[in-house]
Structure 1
């Protein structure tokens, strides 16, 4: 018999996960699981394999977006309404799909993703 002992979602691919006591699921999987991801400007996804410090960022779902807390304690909110309406092509592990692009302040961080990410535009402004 299979027993489920713990349940986690990762609102942002490769960032810290959240333990849950219950979850909602739909056709695409668990609600809020990997709903967001960090990409290069060409749409190539970025993972914690490349940048292990990603797991130090704490995402928290909001009813209208996502709240991120950096390792230094600074934070920022990204709202669904901030995203571009035009979907752009991207790819994860050979699966091609389209995704909405985050606002410029958030995107400036992904181009030079490093331990200095917490000083990127938008961090520290909740």
Structure 2
């Protein structure tokens, strides 16, 4: 049996994640997941690729909003669920542009001081509908400030297999999934085309290409060569390295750790198959 073993959200894009026992599924992914984002010059999204110190900003969701704590000095700031300004602007995430709302000048100043560079915090209002990539998804599918899709799924067996090949094991937080499951074979998520969890239909649309963010230690914000060095030996295709699968979904509901994951349909397209050297 395949079973959900962990659920994660990342309220502010590229900041620390939060493990949940239950997660509400909204039209654009898990509730609060990447609904906020830091931007810098030209209103472009800011990530650990540009500023590794973002790994040291940890988040929590409370009844009054999101709290962010900067680990080196222990200071925190409160981010209300409702932005304190009404100013809208166009922001850029990779090749996408969408409408966002500035949150607060005071909050901007706090992030600017912690990161040592100009940064502003924006929120995605419900009225801002950012479409997923039409090359891989149906019309009307939307996402938050994620890299491109509402959810990412990874099997625990996949991480276990990777770690068996590594000089030292790495935790799942390097890969920032939303859903982790146990059971099945390593990389069985690659072939999942249609799955259900607690009555919610989800569809695998694209294997997740990994970047240098996976090489950042989320505890101390240091950077190395792994896991990309090892993954490149057996998870590379067309000059990209893959780990995990991106999902879209229909409907809303609740997912819980412990829920059964049921596979209803498997992919047959060649692009979803990456064979390790020992099986090639």
TM norm. shorter chain > 0.5: yes
Q: Secondary structure at the match of 2:43?
A: coil
Pairwise mapping of residues 1-126 of structure 1 onto structure 2 (< 5 A)? Answer: 2-40=2-40, 42-71=42-71, 72-110=73-111, 114=115
User: Could you tell me the TM-score, scaled by structure 2's length?
Assistant: 0.38
- Tell me which moved more, 75-84 or 11-20: 75-84
* Equivalent residue number for residue 157 of structure 2: none
How many residues get paired?
A: 117
Query: More strand by proportion, 1 or 2?
Result: 2
Q: Secondary structure at the match of 1:19?
A: strand
User: Could you tell me the TM-score, scaled by structure 1's length?
Assistant: 0.78
CA-based RMSD: 2.4
Structure 2 distance, partners of 1:85, 1:76, is: 20
Structure 2 distance, partners of 1:49, 1:2, is: 33
Q: After TM superposition, give the deviation of residue 79 of structure 1 in Å.
A: 1.8
Structure 2 distance, partners of 1:29, 1:76, is: 25
- Tell me which moved more, 61-70 or 4-13: 61-70
**Structure 1, unaligned runs of 5 or more:** 118-126
Structure 2 distance, partners of 1:90, 1:83, is: 18
Contact 2:9–2:17 (Cα < 8 Å) also in 1? yes
Q: Which structure would you say has the larger Rg? A: 2
Q: After TM superposition, give the deviation of residue 64 of structure 1 in Å.
A: 3.8
Structure 2 distance, partners of 1:40, 1:115, is: 12
**Structure 2, unaligned runs of 5 or more:** 119-280
